[in-house]
Structure formats: structure tokens, C-alpha cells
A and B are shown apart, each in its own frame.
Chain A
Amino acid sequence: MARYIGKRLIYMFITLALIATFTFFLMKVLPGSPIASADKLSPEQRAVVEARYGLDQPLPVQYFNYMFGLLQGDLGISINQFKGADVTDVILSRMGPSAQIGFQGMVLGTFLGILFGMVAALRQNTWVDYTSTIVAIIGISIPSFVFASLLQYWFGLKWDLFPVALWKDGFMSSVLPSIALAMFPLATAARFIRTEMIEVLGSDYITLAKAKGASGSEIAFKHAFRNALIPLVTVLGPMAVSILTGSLVVEQIFAIPGIGEQFVKSIMVNDFSIIMGTTMFFSVFLIAIILIVDILYGVIDPRIRLSGGKN
């Protein structure tokens, strides 16, 4: 186990170093100077500013400074949107709303998904099952931005139940974006739990439980549900990825001052340092989540032999 985690950590490090290197050279190649209105400065002024940000040093030195900064969590300095501000600070200041809608969406989606999947499996081939399957297919198929626009149009504009956009009414503002983000986890969990439950319900130990005289609900919750839940951990990774991807557009649609909205805005105005910094941030976040999920799976289910390398 320790060896497996060690190996995975090394891979994680190599992957991040690759992304960081790529990002660094990309920033050097892309047009535009990191200094605001660089053309208007005299050569002397320019030299002063460049020295201030370490841009006068040779490329390898800059590279090592950048990589060393990354290790300490320094993502560089914003070029044109927040003059001279640390990218790390910009990202951290926008963490709150993103984390809130992401977390709410994940919890809501997973919870409802488990519920849908379970009911569908227990009432297999009835209208309940079919409804749940249709919801799951729609949730997987319809892109979050289409779904978010629909929610905003009906619940925000037409029926005026929730704020149309912005982040002013606390929890109420987070309802529609959270629902929009919850759709994919909901659909994934529902499908997954349904398949697992049906398989578990057909296994020998369920027959034994029935023979022993256990009640229906006891079988469903105590025996079937618990065992069906374990493999759900494996799809937590893809769910987190979908929430993050979705947050880029959902935050844009609902004008939420989160990381995703900042990211899209930075793409529009070509603020490369923010784009790169956020990209690094996303990479670390996603890679860490996938690693945690993999380790968690091994811990929860001892049948999985991590060190053997199943692939």
C-alpha cells in the first residue's frame, strides 16, 4: 500500500512538473508583455520594472524561479486585469462561491442519485425504474450549460422563484447553480447504483438473507445497499471533473464571482498569467482528487489489490 501511494505520488509529481514546464514556456511564447503599456516606457524605466519582476534574468533562471515559486504555492503575478496582484491571491479570493456551489452540487447530486438508483433497482422494470433511467440518460446527455440556461430561464426569469444571477442573496443565489451542477453526479450515481444493486440483489448472500427470513427493507438497506455503495467511490473522480468543468460555464451563466467565471473572463481578455495559474490550480486539484479516490477505494474495499497494478 505504502509503495503504491509512493509510486502514485511520484507520477503525480512528474505530471505536474510537465504541465508546469509546458505552461511556463507557453507564457514565454505567447504574444504580449507582462508589463502594462510596455511601449510607453523608456528603456531605463523598463529595465527597472523588469528587474522588479525578475524578467531581466536568463531564461533557465526564470524557469527555476517559476518552478520554485510553484512549490511554495506562488502562481505568478497577474498581467492586465489585477495589476501586480498575486495570481494565488486572486484565485483564493474567489474560492468561496466556487467551493460552495461545487460542494452543494456534489452532495445533492450524489444523494439524489443514490436514492433514484436504489428505488429503480428495488422496483426493477416498473414505471419508477423507467422514470429514473430516463432522468439518468437526460442528466448524462444534456450539457450543463444548456441545463443551466433552462433553469435560469424558467426558475429565475419566468417564475421568479430564485435570483436570476449574481451572488447577492446568500444561499438562495447558490440554489440554481448547484442544481445545474448536480445533474451529472445525479445521473452517474443513479445509473451506477442501479446496476450494482441489481447485481448484488442476485447474489447468493441475499438469497441466504431471504431464506433466513430477513425483511425486505432489512435486505435492501443492510445487505444490498451497503455493498452496492462501495464501487460508487470509483466514479467520484469523474464526478469531480464534471463539477469543475461545469463550474466554468455555470458560474459564467449565473454571474457568480468564482474561479470559473474569472477563468473565462481571463480567456476573453488574454490575461495569460491568470489563465496559466488557474490551469495549474485545476491540475493540482483534479490530480489530487483522483489520487485520493484511488487510495480511498483500496482502503474501503480490501478485495482491491492496489500494489498488483490491475491495468
Chain B
Amino acid sequence: MTQNYENLPKDSFERIARDTVQAEKISKPSVSFWQDAWRSLKKNKGAIVSLVLFGFIVIMALIGPILSPYEPNAQTITHANLPPKIPVVENLGIFNGEGKLGGKTVDLYEMKNVDQYYWFGTDGLGRDMFARVWKGTQVSLFIAFVAAAIDMVIGVIYGGISGYFGGRIDDVMQRIVEILTGIPNLVVVILFILIMDPGILAIIIALTITGWTGMSRVVRGQVLKYKNQEFVLAARTLGASDSRIIWKHLMPNVLGVIIINTMFTIPGAIFFEAFLSFIGLGLQAPDASLGTLINDGYKLIQYQPHILLFPAVVLSLIMIAFNLIGDGLRDALDPKMKD
């Protein structure tokens, strides 16, 4: 690189006329906020794998109980406590229907004269675990989604009104929220379950009774941040109504935070439902959720570990997937937000 640039011949350069059109030209197509978010989410391997995994679990929760030839609550006492047996896989030496009986490994299916395959085995009442696990997943997901949706609606409306109108309304509304958030979640949930008949509805109400406060705080903070910015002022100057400003100008900006928050509410709800079922405040037999199945399985952990295995694995996978998707979405939608 010792060339002497001064000695380059002048005619090797050519003057280009200034073109004002070119200067303003955007060479790449413009990327919207959501396209950009999707792009960075796609780069996050954990989130994408989780998304696929979660999709699979949802599909199984919907069609699993139908795939199984058995009803989730149908009891066949003669087929009780069978270990898992899956066609094809059984040839590999696992899930081949063999279990320990009096210290010896025997084919329990042969012993009990069972020709059918129970993919996840059966429980103590001879109910098909495959159908029960997916039915339970369905119930758990249903509770979590409904609870999260209710939290979201109440939280967004409450936080939105509180933040947008401000002043005295905000003061009163925030004092109420401060008292409500002071009550520990665990205490509220347990007290509400005690008054109501245990069941899906009771769990959903207990989860949402104070669950929305987190969302309302986040939404209020965001609305406060945006409502005094120039674009809102411009819209107001042009005569936009309150509802137009809220829906057209503020909502799109707050949406990212709402989605992130909901993504973290759902695993929380799934956990609480399973937790309540585990301590005996959840669904009542014969209805099953992942929590009640784990509770049943736990009691037989020493002799029939497979009854605990499948619901515990499904529950753990859902929780991991949701946390990873939530993390990914948070990074994609708002790189600056930390918690």
C-alpha cells in the first residue's frame, strides 16, 4: 500500500452530477414495527423451537383425547396400572409394556391379557393416561388462557383510563390498586376458592380477582409516557376524539407491552392452577387438569412412576416454552425493556 495517490491520472475519475432524487431514495423496502419484531424473533432459536413445541402441545391437547380410542374418564379395572406401551417403539426396549412385579421384570400386558396399546399406560382405575393427559392439558390451557384474557381486558381498560384521564380519577384508581396489590396473590386465591365451589370457574375467578393489577400498572405507565408526546398533541389539534386517540394513536404503541405481559401471565396462571390442584383446592374428580394428574401420580411415585412422568413432562414443557417465547418476544418487541 505504498502507492502514491497524488500521481494518479486525473482522467481516471469521472464527476457525477448531483441527483437530488437519488439522495432521498430508500434503497430497501421499509420495515414495519411488527415485521422488524418478527425478524428478530426468528433469529431467536429458543423462542422459535418453543413456538413449534407449544403449537404441537396445543394441537395434541385438542386432538389427543380424540386420537385415543378410550374416554378420559372411562374405567377398565382389569387394565389398571399398566405401564406405557407404544407400537414400533416397543421393539427398541423402551415403552414395551414391561414393568416390575415383585422385583422381577415382566410383560404386564401379557400377564393381564391385554391386547390393546396404552401409549402412556393406565392409572390405578384403568383409565387411559394418554387421553387423560391431553384432556388435562386442554383444561389447564383453557384456564390459563381465559384467566390471562380477562386480566388483559380489565388491566388494559383500568390502566388506560387511569393513565389517560389522570388527575383525581387517576389518584383514586391508583389508591385502589395499591391496596389490592398489597394483598398477597396466594392469600386471595385460597380465600376465593374456599368460598366458591371448587372447579374451573372458581379457579379462573380466583386468578383474575387481583391478577389484572400488574397489567393495569404497566399499561398506565405506557399511556402516561405517550399521551403527552407530539403525535398525540397533533392528533388532538386536528380534532381527534378521545376514543380515536386511544385506539388509533396510543393502542398501537402500548400493544407490545400488553403482549409481553400476557405472555408472562399465562405460565403464571398454569402454575397456580397446578399448584391449587396439588394442595387439594383445584378441580374435583373425575375431572382432570395437569395439576390433579400430577397430584395423583405423585401418590404412586414409588410403584407407578409413569403416572407422574407424562403430566409432569407436559407441564414442564409448557412452562419452559412459554418463558422462552416470552423472553424472545420481549427482546423482539422492546429491546430496552428489562423486566
Q: SS class of chain B's interface: helix, strand, loop or mixed?
A: helix
Alpha-carbon distance A267/B179, docked complex (angstroms):
27
**In the bound complex, do residue A287 and residue B195 qualify as a contact, i.e. CB atoms below 8 Å apart?**
no
Check: A248 CB closer than 8 A to any chain B CB.
Answer: yes
**In the bound complex, do residue A12 and residue B191 qualify as a contact, i.e. CB atoms below 8 Å apart?**
no
**In the bound complex, do residue A26 and residue B182 qualify as a contact, i.e. CB atoms below 8 Å apart?**
no
CB neighbours (8 Å) of A137 from chain B are 320, 323-324
Q: Which residue of A lies closest to B221 (CB)?
A: A311
Check: A282 CB closer than 8 A to any chain B CB.
Answer: yes
| Min CB gap A53→B, angstroms | 22
Check: A65 CB closer than 8 A to any chain B CB.
Answer: no
Check: A211 CB closer than 8 A to any chain B CB.
Answer: no
CB neighbours (8 Å) of A268 from chain B are 280
Check: B281 CB closer than 8 A to any chain A CB.
Answer: yes
**In the bound complex, do residue B316 and residue A241 qualify as a contact, i.e. CB atoms below 8 Å apart?**
no
Q: A14-B179, A141-B323 are in contact. Are A264 and B279 (CB under 8 A)?
A: yes
Q: Which residue of B lies closest to A310 (CB)?
A: B221
Check: A18 CB closer than 8 A to any chain B CB.
Answer: yes
CB neighbours (8 Å) of A121 from chain B are none
Q: SS class of chain A's interface: helix, strand, loop or mixed?
A: helix
Q: C-beta contact mask, B323-339 vs A, less than 8 Å → 1, else 0? A: 11000000000000010
Check: B99 CB closer than 8 A to any chain A CB.
Answer: no
Choose the segment among B1-9, B87-95, B244-252, B301-309 that binds chain A (4+ C-beta atoms closer than 8 Å): B301-309
Q: A22-B191, A145-B275, A146-B294 are in contact. Are A15 and B316 (CB under 8 A)?
A: no
Check: A286 CB closer than 8 A to any chain B CB.
Answer: yes
**In the bound complex, do residue B315 and residue A143 qualify as a contact, i.e. CB atoms below 8 Å apart?**
yes
CB neighbours (8 Å) of A75 from chain B are none
CB neighbours (8 Å) of B315 from chain A are 143, 146
Q: A137-B320, A137-B324, A282-B187 are in contact. Are A153 and B305 (CB under 8 A)?
A: yes
Q: Which A38-62 residues have C-beta < 8 A from chain B? A: none
Q: Which B261-295 residues have C-beta < 8 A from chain A? A: 267, 271, 274-275, 278-281, 294
**In the bound complex, do residue B184 and residue A264 qualify as a contact, i.e. CB atoms below 8 Å apart?**
no
Q: Which A1-52 residues have C-beta < 8 A from chain B? A: 11-12, 14-15, 18-19, 22-23, 26, 29-30
In the complex, 28 of the A-B residue pairs with CB atoms within 8 angstroms, ordered by the A residue number, are: A11-B179, A18-B179, A26-B191, A26-B194, A26-B195, A29-B195, A137-B323, A138-B320, A140-B323, A141-B316, A141-B322, A142-B320, A143-B274, A143-B315, A145-B275, A149-B308, A150-B312, A152-B301, A153-B305, A241-B184, A241-B186, A252-B279, A264-B280, A267-B190, A275-B194, A279-B191, A282-B184, A282-B187
| Min CB gap B242→A, angstroms | 24
Alpha-carbon distance A176/B320, docked complex (angstroms):
23
Check: A120 CB closer than 8 A to any chain B CB.
Answer: no
Alpha-carbon distance A194/B194, docked complex (angstroms):
41
Other A-B contacts than A14-B179, A138-B320, A275-B194, 12 sampled, CB-CB below 8 A, are A141-B316, A143-B315, A149-B294, A149-B298, A153-B301, A157-B301, A241-B186, A245-B275, A267-B281, A272-B194, A282-B186, A290-B182
Alpha-carbon distance A12/B184, docked complex (angstroms):
12
Count of interface residues, chain B, beta-carbon cutoff 8 Å: 38
Q: Which residue of A lies closest to B297 (CB)?
A: A149
How many pairs of A and B residues are in contact by the CB < 8 Å rule?
105
Check: A253 CB closer than 8 A to any chain B CB.
Answer: yes
**In the bound complex, do residue B319 and residue A30 qualify as a contact, i.e. CB atoms below 8 Å apart?**
no
CB neighbours (8 Å) of A157 from chain B are 301-302
Q: A137-B320, A146-B316, A283-B183 are in contact. Are A11 and B178 (CB under 8 A)?
A: yes
CB neighbours (8 Å) of A279 from chain B are 187, 190-191
| Min CB gap B216→A, angstroms | 11
**In the bound complex, do residue A11 and residue B312 qualify as a contact, i.e. CB atoms below 8 Å apart?**
no
Alpha-carbon distance A196/B40, docked complex (angstroms):
22
CB neighbours (8 Å) of B267 from chain A are 141
Q: C-beta contact mask, B177-213 vs A, less than 8 Å → 1, else 0? A: 0110011111100110011000000000000000000
CB neighbours (8 Å) of B217 from chain A are 311
CB neighbours (8 Å) of A283 from chain B are 183-184, 187
Alpha-carbon distance A197/B301, docked complex (angstroms):
41
Q: C-beta contact mask, A269-311 vs B, less than 8 Å → 1, else 0? A: 0001001000100110011001000000000000000000001
| Min CB gap B55→A, angstroms | 18
CB neighbours (8 Å) of B320 from chain A are 137-138, 141-142
CB neighbours (8 Å) of B184 from chain A are 241, 282-283, 286-287
CB neighbours (8 Å) of B182 from chain A are 11-12, 14-15, 287, 290
In-complex Cβ contact of B278 among A12, A145, A150, A282 (8 A): A145
**In the bound complex, do residue A141 and residue B278 qualify as a contact, i.e. CB atoms below 8 Å apart?**
no
CB neighbours (8 Å) of A264 from chain B are 279-280
Q: A141-B320, A142-B319 are in contact. Are A249 and B191 (CB under 8 A)?
A: no
Shortest Cβ-Cβ A-B pairs, 10 listed: A15-B182, A141-B319, A141-B320, A286-B184, A146-B312, A264-B279, A142-B316, A141-B323, A283-B187, A145-B278
